[in-house]
Amino acid sequence: MPSKPDIKPETELLSVTMTRTRLFSQLTLTVITLVGLTVTLPPRINPLAVSPIFAQTQNTSKAEADRLLIQGLQQFQRRQFREAIESWQKSLSIFQEIGDRQGVAKSLTNLGIAYYSLSQYEKAIELYQQSLSIFQEIGDQLGVADSLNNLGIAYYSLSQYEKAIELYQQSLSIFQEIGDQLGVADSLNNFGNVYYSLSQYKKAIELFQQALPIFQEIGDRRGVADSLNNLGNAYNNLSQYEKAIEFHQQSLSIRQEIGDRQGVAKSLMNFGNVYGNLSQYEKAIELYQQALPIFQEIGDRRGVADSLNNLGNAYNNLSQYEKAIEFHQQSLSIRQEIGDRQGVAKSLTNLGSAYSNLSQYEKVIELYQQALPIFQEIGDRRGKAGSFMNLGSAYSNLSQYEKAIELYQQSLSIFQEIGDRRGEAGSFMNLGIAYGNLSQYEKAIELYQQSLSIFQEIGDRRGEAITLYNLGLTYRAMGQEQKAREFFEQAEAIKREIGID
Per-residue model confidence as pLDDT tens digits over 437-462: 999 999 999 999 999 999 999 888 98
Asked, colleague to colleague, whether 57-179 and 380-500 share their fold, the answer is yes
Distant-in-sequence, close-in-space partners of 171: CB < 8 Å, separation ≥ 6: 145, 146, 148, 149, 152, 183, 187
- The predicted-structure confidence for 205-217, as pLDDT tens digits, reads as follows 999 999 999 999 9
Q: Is 58 helix (H, G, I), strand (E, B) or coil?
A: coil
* pLDDT (0 to 100) of residue 415: 93
The strand pairing partners of 16, in sequence order, are 23
- The predicted-structure confidence for 325-373, as pLDDT tens digits, reads as follows 999 999 999 999 888 888 899 999 999 999 999 999 999 999 999 999 9
CATH C-level class of 57-179:
mainly alpha
Report which DSSP code applies to 148: H
Residue 48: band (very low, low, confident or very high) from pLDDT cuts 50, 70, 90: low
DSSP 4-39: -----------EEEETTEEEEPPP----BTTTB---
| 380-500 belongs to CATH 3.40.640.10 | no
CATH C-level class of 180-278:
mainly alpha
- Residue with the bigger pLDDT between 274 and 77: it is 274
69 has pLDDT over 60: yes
> Cα(437)–Cα(448) distance, rounded to whole angstroms?
14
> Cα(466)–Cα(488) distance, rounded to whole angstroms?
10
- The predicted-structure confidence for 293-309, as pLDDT tens digits, reads as follows 999 998 888 899 999 99
Q: What is the percent of the chain where pLDDT is above 70? A: 88
Residue 145: band (very low, low, confident or very high) from pLDDT cuts 50, 70, 90: very high
- The predicted-structure confidence for 101-139, as pLDDT tens digits, reads as follows 999 999 999 999 999 888 788 999 999 999 999 999 999
- The dihedral of CA 415, 419, 425, 428: what is its sign? positive
Q: Where are the domains of the chain?
A: 57-179, 180-278, 380-500
Report which DSSP code applies to 340: -
* pLDDT (0 to 100) of residue 34: 26
What's the rounded mean pLDDT across residues 45-61? 51
Q: What is the mean pLDDT of the chain?
A: 86
**Are the C-beta atoms of 101 and 134 separated by less than 8 Å?**
yes
* pLDDT (0 to 100) of residue 9: 28
**Are the C-beta atoms of 56 and 374 separated by less than 8 Å?**
no
